[in-house]
Amino acid sequence: MAEVGRRDFLTYATVTLGVVGTGLSLWPFIDSMNPAADTKALSTTEIDLVPIQVGSRITVQWRGKPVFIAHRTPQQIEQARQVDLASLRDPEPDEKRAIKPEWLIVVGICTHLGCIPLGQKSADPHGDFDGWFCPCHGSHYDHSARIRKGPAPKNLEVPKYAFTEKGGVKIG
C-alpha cells in the first residue's frame, strides 16, 4: 500500500472542498424551483356545500380563477341529461361532467376569449338554455355548462374535485 503524500492529501482536500462548495452554491437555485408556500396553499380549495340551497349557485376562487358551483334541481338535471349529444359542438354527457348529479362544478371562464359568463345570480341573463351566458361574444351554455350557441369552442372546464365526508368539496 502506497503512502499518501502531502501532495495527494492537498489534491483530495481541494477536490472535496470544491464539490461541497459547488453543491452549496447551487442549492439556492435548485430550491427556488420548488413552488412557494403561498402557491402550494392555493393549489386546493375546500368549500362547505351544506348551506347552498337547491337551485342556487355560488362562485369561489381557486388558483385565481372563478369556479362556479351549482346545486341543481331535479328538473335541471333531467334537462341536461336529455340533450342529444350529437347536436353539441363539444359532446360530453352530463354524467361525465358531474360526479354527483345535483352538484355541477366548473371553472367560470369562457373557452372563447376568457371572459366570465353571467348566470350565477338570479338577476343575471342565463342565455337561451337557462345555464350561463357570456356577455363578451354571446356564448350560451346549458345546465351542464356545455356550449350550445355562440363562438366558444369547448364546454366550460370541469376542474378536478372530490367530495369530503363532512358535506363539502375539495377542488384541486
- Answer yes or no: do 92 and 12 share one domain: no
What does the pLDDT average to over 72-95? Answer: 90
Residues 29 and 45 reside in one and the same domain: no
* Residues 152, 135: Cα–Cα separation, whole Å: 12
pLDDT, position 32: 80
- Asked whether residue 59 falls in the same domain as residue 116, the answer is yes
Q: Which residues are catalytic?
A: 137
Nearest to 108 by CA among 56, 69, 147, 54: 69
Same domain assignment for residues 88 and 8: no
Which tens digits make up the pLDDT trace of 36-82?
766 666 678 888 888 889 989 999 988 888 999 999 999 999 998 99
Based on the domain organization, do 22 and 58 belong to the same domain?
no
Residue 34 C-alpha cell reads as: 420548488
CATH of the domain at 138: 2.102.10.10
* Same domain for 149 and 64: yes
Summarised one tens digit per residue, pLDDT across range 97-117 is: 988 999 999 999 999 888 889
Q: How far apart (Å, rounded) are the C-alpha atoms in residues 87 and 148?
A: 8
Rounded Cα distance, 130 and 132, in Å: 7
Range of the domain at 72: 39-171
Shared domain for 138 and 160, answered yes or no, is yes
Q: Report the pLDDT value the prediction gives residue 42, as an integer from 0 to 100.
A: 63
Q: Read off the C-alpha cell for 164.
A: 369530503
pTM > 0.75: no
Cα dihedral 129→133→136→137 (10° resolution): -10
Does 14 share its domain with 45? no
Q: Which residue has the cell 492537498?
A: 10
On whether both 63 and 135 belong to a single domain, the answer is yes
Same domain, 44 and 24: no
Q: Are 80 and 142 in contact (CB under 8 A)?
A: yes
State how many domains the chain has: 2
Q: 127 with 61, same domain? A: yes
DSSP secondary structure string, 47-114?
A: EE-TTPPTT-EEEEEETTEEEEEEE--HHHHHHHHTS-GGG-SS---HHHH-SSTTEEEEE---TTT-
Do 69 and 146 share a domain, yes or no? yes
